[in-house]
Amino acid sequence: MEPVRSEFVPDPSLSREAMESLQRDIADAAVFDDDFDFDPATIRFGSAVDLTDDTQQRLTGDGPIVAGVDQAFLDDGDRALSAVVALQNGDVVERAHAVVDTEIPYIPGLLSFREGGAILAALSNLAIEPDLLVVDGSGCIHFREAGLATHIGVVVDVPAIGVAKNLLCGTPTEPIPDRMPEGERIPIEADDRVETAETGTVIGHAVQTRQYDSGTTSINPLYVSPGHRVSAVTTASIVAQCAAGYKLPEPMRLADRAADRHKRECLDG
């Protein structure tokens, strides 16, 4: 798949001011409401096909194609490796990846200008057209509501959601407990750090996709937000539904593994 909004393609050579200006334009072009054809409820993972169960419903037709995207770095960050894994009806239907030289360092709020090029290169190597992109990083939980997932989603104009392991900005409507119960979600509201949204606007959710029943250790929640063409509530539901026994939603978990695997091959031989 290729960019359809070339004017928004991340350019690492831009000045910081130009980057921030572009992000505002991207946020304007982004749609933080449900605007897609497929039925989110039909997204299925795992080979949960139990032929002995008469009550189960048979899948009619093909479910949506969901693609996970994740990055790894080589040469101490000099090169970014992006991996994409596309799933449909619980099966991997295509994989793609790309390695691109990084031009700028990591700067909070400007992540897409560091990693965006590698992601778009990987997506261009993907023949299939995904119905949804699951990107590692924030979507509209961002200072200008233009995080990595939003930037990528708008450039290729495909529904996208952002899944982050840490909160960039915004405030939970209630304190995140040390041990959030599995399945629970807490809204994240825009605060004074989110320049483009009115304070109090729900921009995402903390979602606990997995939790230990007991013990000393606990798992932290994921911070999910709309990237493009998906609402905050739907984003949380999709992520919860994509959890297949692991913290990360299955498409992202597989992309994560693919990125690490490619990285190794790139190092040793």
Partner DNA sequence: GCGACAG
Partner DNA sequence: ATCTTGTCGC
> What is the contact surface with DNA in residues (CB under 7 A)?
70-73, 77, 106, 108-112, 136-138, 142, 147-148, 162, 164-169, 212-217, 263
CB of 147 to DNA, least distance (A): 3
CB of 52 to DNA, least distance (A): 27
- What three-state secondary structure class fits 202? strand
9 CB contacts (<8 Å, ≥6 apart)? 3, 116, 120, 155
CB of 21 to DNA, least distance (A): 14
Residue 199 has which token pair? 């304070």
CB of 237 to DNA, least distance (A): 20
- Give 2 or 212: the residue with its C-beta nearer to DNA: 212
CB of 216 to DNA, least distance (A): 5
In sequence order, what E strands does the chain have?
A: 65-74, 79-88, 91-101, 132-136, 160-164, 171-172, 185-189, 202-207, 222-228
The closest of 32, 26, 33, 19 to 156, measured between CA atoms, is 26
Residue 241 has which token pair? 């539904």
- Give 77 or 245: the residue with its C-beta nearer to DNA: 77
54 CB contacts (<8 Å, ≥6 apart)? none
CB of 47 to DNA, least distance (A): 23
Query: What are the CA-CA distances from residue 177 to residues 58, 60, 173, 243 (Å)?
Result: 39, 41, 12, 20
- Give 109 or 130: the residue with its C-beta nearer to DNA: 109
- End-to-end Cα, the chain, rounded Å: 29
6 CB contacts (<8 Å, ≥6 apart)? 155
CB of 139 to DNA, least distance (A): 8
- Give 24 or 42: the residue with its C-beta nearer to DNA: 24
- What three-state secondary structure class fits 224? strand
Query: What are the CA-CA distances from residue 35 to residues 31, 173, 234 (Å)?
Result: 8, 26, 11
